Amino acid sequence: MTSTLIHSIRIFDGHSVLTESGFLYFKDGLIHTVAAGAPPAGLEATNTIDGAGHTILPGLIDAHVHCHGDSRTLALCLKFGVTTVLDMFSDAAASQGLKKLASEKADYADIRSAGFGAVIKNGWPGPIVMATMPDKEVARKMVESWPLVEEGREAEWITGRVEEGSDYIKLMQEDGANLLNGPFPTPRPSMQAALVKAAHANGILTVAHAMSQKATMTVLEAGTDGLAHCFYDEKPSAELVDLYKKTGAFLIPTLVVSASITGENVQDSKDILERDVVSKRVGHDEKECFCGRVLLARGGSVEHSYETVRVLKKNGVDILAGTDAAKGLHGTVPGLSLHQELGLYVHRCGFTGVEALISATSTTARRFSLNDRGRIAEGLRADLLMVKGDPTSDIGCTMDIAGVWRGGVALEL
């Protein structure tokens, strides 16, 4: 395998700026040397890159996507420097197929997946699938293919997902009270607690869908390891903050989707489409989708989501950058949406550029035990993103992509 030396470059290692001018040497898919200053004399590489005026950082991780077996989603994510995605509900067999594809070809983002989510009869996400898919017969067959959780058989259901290859478990606590097509049946708190207990007995995490403050409290009390969304229906309460702190749960905000559901932030999306990085990677239909909005909210505002993220961050809760991006989901484009999400953390939620980058690299890797990535350190995977400028001071620079490597293999941009 080829080796690569990048010198005279600013290095963000997943935690902080290691140096304003250093070098990075990687070969055989792994980072071999990273240090400040000039490379030692005699260090030879197949490819040598002058990184002056650029920043190298770990490949980004999107902690909430939906691939639904679509390989373009993985390809598009990688083109935007997202080297790993965490799928939060897709057909189990299709997800395993994408894992195999990503293991064989370096021009696709790597993937971990929940497989099927913990759905009850007539529960979420069936209503949204039936409401938004144009072919209702296809939608019906999809929903009917999901393995349903039954009261008293939670451990059996978890065993089934583990056998299918799920890397973690997706819980569903959506009553639809804040959605135009609600309400929907939801699992009892005792069922959620039993699912969490069974998942932990199998050594895997649970991540819960909840888009109201009430539902969020329910799954936190059930012991979930993290939330897959930030609610938008009301301001965060002191009780919510205390419960996050008590449980140690993390939050994947998916602010871009909160704004899509409430119909906000359209101009922000239009402005992003003016960036050079977009025209080279995104088609006409995807651009229209990015500026579209789901418009399903019954009241609420994304401003409540921003405030919640601000308060939780201030109180030490781990924030993991994630988008809910999926092919055809209005308000999102896989890969591109993560850059918009990071911008919202900085411009609306009080993050520094460094804090935003941490949320898309080392924090997600730590919480999901992805111990071989998310940081730039010797011996870790050479999953890397190189950008022009300094994203630690201007988060928009993450979109000025100059290089992407996955497992040490350079992506043709």
pLDDT digits (tens, 9 = 90+) for 259-276: 999 999 999 999 999 999
How far is the C-alpha of 318 from the C-alpha of 7, rounded, in Å?
Answer: 32
Mean pLDDT score, 216-237: 99
The total domain count for the chain is 1
CATH at 133? 3.20.20.140
How far is the C-alpha of 171 from the C-alpha of 272, rounded, in Å?
Answer: 32
Given pLDDT bands bounded at 50, 70 and 90, which one contains residue 31? very high
Q: Is residue 155 part of a domain?
A: yes
Continuous segment of H or E residues that includes residue 247: helix 238-247
Annotate 115-133 with b (16+ C-beta within 10 A) or e (fewer): bbbbbbeebbbbbbbeeee
How far is the C-alpha of 29 from the C-alpha of 98, rounded, in Å?
Answer: 20
How far is the C-alpha of 343 from the C-alpha of 310, rounded, in Å?
Answer: 14
How far is the C-alpha of 44 from the C-alpha of 28, rounded, in Å?
Answer: 14
Residue 368 belongs to domain spanning: 60-373
Q: Is residue 398 part of a domain?
A: no
Q: Is residue 151 part of a domain?
A: yes
Whole-number pLDDT of residue 132: 75
Mean pLDDT score, 238-267: 98
Q: Is residue 394 part of a domain?
A: no
Q: Does the pLDDT value for residue 134 go beyond 80?
A: no
Whole-number pLDDT of residue 407: 98
Given pLDDT bands bounded at 50, 70 and 90, which one contains residue 45? very high
Compute, in degrees rounded to 10, the torsion defined by CA atoms 68, 69, 70, 76. 90
Percentage, residues of the chain above pLDDT 70: 100
Mean pLDDT score, 322-346: 98
Whole-number pLDDT of residue 103: 98
Q: Does the pLDDT value for residue 301 go beyond 80?
A: yes
Task: Tell me what the pLDDT averaged over the chain comes to.
Answer: 97
Residue 274's Cα: distance from chain center in Å? Answer: 23
Percentage, residues of the chain above pLDDT 90: 93
Sequence-distant (6+) residues with CB within 8 A of 136 are 130
Q: Is residue 49 part of a domain?
A: no
Given pLDDT bands bounded at 50, 70 and 90, which one contains residue 77? very high
Q: Is residue 98 part of a domain?
A: yes
Instruction: Record the pTM.
Output: 0.98
Mean pLDDT score, 70-84: 98
Whole-number pLDDT of residue 300: 95
Q: Is residue 29 part of a domain?
A: no
What stretches of 273-378 show up as alpha helix (H) in DSSP?
276-279, 284-291, 302-314, 336-349, 353-359, 362-367
Given pLDDT bands bounded at 50, 70 and 90, which one contains residue 157? very high
Q: Is residue 367 part of a domain?
A: yes
pLDDT tens per residue, range 79-106: 999 999 999 999 999 999 999 999 999 9
Give CA separation, 136 vs 124, 140, 218, in Å: 16, 6, 32
Sequence-distant (6+) residues with CB within 8 A of 266 are 291, 293
Q: Does the pLDDT value for residue 139 go beyond 90?
A: no
Given pLDDT bands bounded at 50, 70 and 90, which one contains residue 364? very high
Compute, in degrees rounded to 10, the torsion defined by CA atoms 37, 351, 75, 380. 40
250: which 2 tokens? 């993390």
Whole-number pLDDT of residue 131: 78
End-to-end Cα, the chain, rounded Å: 20
Residue 148's Cα: distance from chain center in Å? Answer: 25
| Packing angle, helices 154-164 and 189-201, rounded to 10 | 50
